[in-house]
Amino acid sequence: MNQPANINDHLFELLVGTSTSPQALPQDLDLLEMPLEGVAAYWLSVKKTLESKKKNDSFLRNEAQHTRELHIRYLLELASSSFTSDKCAALAQVRKQNVLTELSRKYILMAIGLLGIVSRENPQKVMIRFLSKFHIAPIFEKQVFEVAQLILKNLENKDLNKAKFLNIDHKLKTEALIINLIFYCMLARRNGPKSLLDYQDYIASNYFKDGLSLICDGFDYDFVKFRLNLTKKEILEALEKKMDLSADMVTAIKAGMPLQDLYLIAKAYLP
């Protein structure tokens, strides 16, 4: 089979065949990066706008259509739905658990990759650890290594889209995250962990970059593992708090509570 002349086109063709499911690419999860105060301010502004408009549902639907953050968009859709406020609260909790479960697994994958780097573990074993976190493998192992090796081979190719193929981020599709993690495991095993610092500008995840910094500073496996677990716990707890705040405020909006009551809800969550 003829290979595309452009390395990015070649990698794209390989990536198309890696997934074992036809799921679409996930959208951004910006709620993770929003401060708690910003989340409260957003919902208060939504309530204020609703009070100044006559067609509340049309505003909420329009706001949902123009909101890129998926969880907030879903809550806006609930607020404009025909569900009762109690049903909206229940569905918000279901959605929250789904998001937290998926995000937790992505951080676990990053941690497995980092621990493989600090221990110089064979990337094949790292891959097995990745797949052990799924009841059905989300990606074909053979193609993971085919793509990762191609990235490694073309690392100095100026045409390689490094912003895409060298990125580590919780916003990545699971399949892409696994491939990029395996690439970094392979590179670290060949050139040492410190060689990865040359590419940290392409890495969006502070969680991964902080773990890599610990490794390069000489901290051992046990300390790196402890720190990664602690950081993951804190990140997820902070996100859950913002999601709970959002759910309570949306439920209050749905129930037609006055703006002053929403302020009281926000005060319960804010320090």
DSSP labels, 104-120: HHHHHHHHHHHHHHHTT
- Whether 176 is in a domain gets the answer yes
Which two three-digit tokens encode residue 149?
């090796």
Q: What pLDDT was estimated at residue 54?
A: 66
In Å, how far are 247, 259, 260 from 49, measured between CA atoms?
A: 18, 11, 14
Rg (CA), the chain: 22
- Whether 85 is in a domain gets the answer yes
- Whether 175 is in a domain gets the answer yes
Q: How many domains does the chain have?
A: 1
Q: What pLDDT was estimated at residue 26?
A: 34
- Whether 140 is in a domain gets the answer yes
- Whether 23 is in a domain gets the answer no
Task: Going residue by residue through the chain, which has 271 residues, state the pLDDT in tens, using 9 for 90 and above.
Answer: 456 666 666 655 565 555 544 333 234 447 998 999 999 999 999 999 998 876 566 889 988 988 889 999 999 999 999 999 999 999 999 999 999 999 999 999 999 999 999 999 999 999 999 999 999 999 999 999 999 999 999 999 999 999 999 999 999 999 999 999 999 999 999 999 999 999 999 999 999 999 999 999 999 999 999 999 999 999 999 999 999 999 999 999 999 999 999 999 999 999 8
Q: What pLDDT was estimated at residue 74?
A: 96
pTM over 0.75: yes
Q: What pLDDT was estimated at residue 29?
A: 44
Give the residue numbers spanning the domain of 131.
7-18+36-266
Beta bridge partners of 139: 19
- Whether 28 is in a domain gets the answer no
Q: What pLDDT was estimated at residue 98?
A: 97
- Whether 31 is in a domain gets the answer no
Which two three-digit tokens encode residue 26?
């996930």
Q: What pLDDT was estimated at residue 25?
A: 27
Q: Please state the separation of Cα 13 from the chain's center in Å.
A: 24
- Whether 148 is in a domain gets the answer yes
Residue 19, phi then psi, degrees to nearest 5: -75, 140
Beta bridge partners of 19: 139
CA-CA distance, 83 to 62, in Å (whole number)? 18
